[in-house]
Structure 1
């Protein structure tokens, strides 16, 4: 990541820190949805919900 910053491919945006709790909450909701859909064997929805959960988790920066 530091290499990408050094090459100006990405930059830190400290305004995003306020969105961290929202992103984590959204990720948790999608994970719960994936678990519920797994119980009823709705595998396509499991895949979508799991993807969105991972997306929202990965959008949280350290």
Structure 2
């Protein structure tokens, strides 16, 4: 199999999408983080694993944020 890469920009875009799309679309809890809940001026902080998909609103479950 002789594979010739003709356009490096195409390879970069394809590789970027191949890596970034699953991280953003699926709620894979890879990153340590904090959830800050603010009610009536009081803040409650709890540590929880976070996913990149939470930042764009996908895969967000309120039960995961407790």
TM-score range, shorter chain: 0.3 to 0.5
Q: Is the radius of gyration larger for structure 1 or structure 2?
A: 2
> Per residue, is there more strand in 1 or in 2?
2
> Per residue, is there more helix in 1 or in 2?
1
Give the TM-score, by structure 2 length.
Answer: 0.31
Greater RCO, CA 8 A, separation 6+: 1
Give the TM-score, by structure 1 length.
Answer: 0.32
